[in-house]
Amino acid sequence: MNIALIAHDSKKELMVQFCIAYCGILSRHTLCATGVTGKLVAEATGLEIQRFLGGAQGGDQQIAARIAFNEVDMLIFLRDPQNPKPHEPNDINLLRLCDMHNIPVATNIATGEVLIHGLERGDLDWRNIVKS
């Protein structure tokens, strides 16, 4: 499965810890991420991650385009709803695209863990049928 990772600035360390905890599961899938998030996760875990531009430079739009072309199967987007910064990814557009294309999305650590455990059990294998 193709998994996209995005994290607001205040959630980047949480994303790194999440990916360390679930490195074994994530290593069996294709990962992509926005610039700094991808760099931090790759450095901490050794996972191979296709890195797009940073959020301020349009990395979230690059991931949105992949979602629109059905090239992403799951999005883990750890966001900070209390302190969003102007340069951070636009969550409304990403969430709308995920809804339109039936992409499972986690916006916090709790839903991230639910999705990652579902991924491990095979609960998301239906995405392979949708993509066909």
| DSSP 8-state secondary structure symbol assigned to residue 128 | H
Name every residue whose Cβ is closer than 8 Å to that of residue 74 and which is 6 or more positions away in sequence.
1, 2, 3, 4, 103, 104, 105, 106, 115, 119, 124, 127
Burial of 10 (0-12, 13-18, 19+ CB in 10 A): middle
* 60 tagged catalytic: yes
Active-site residues, by number, are: 60
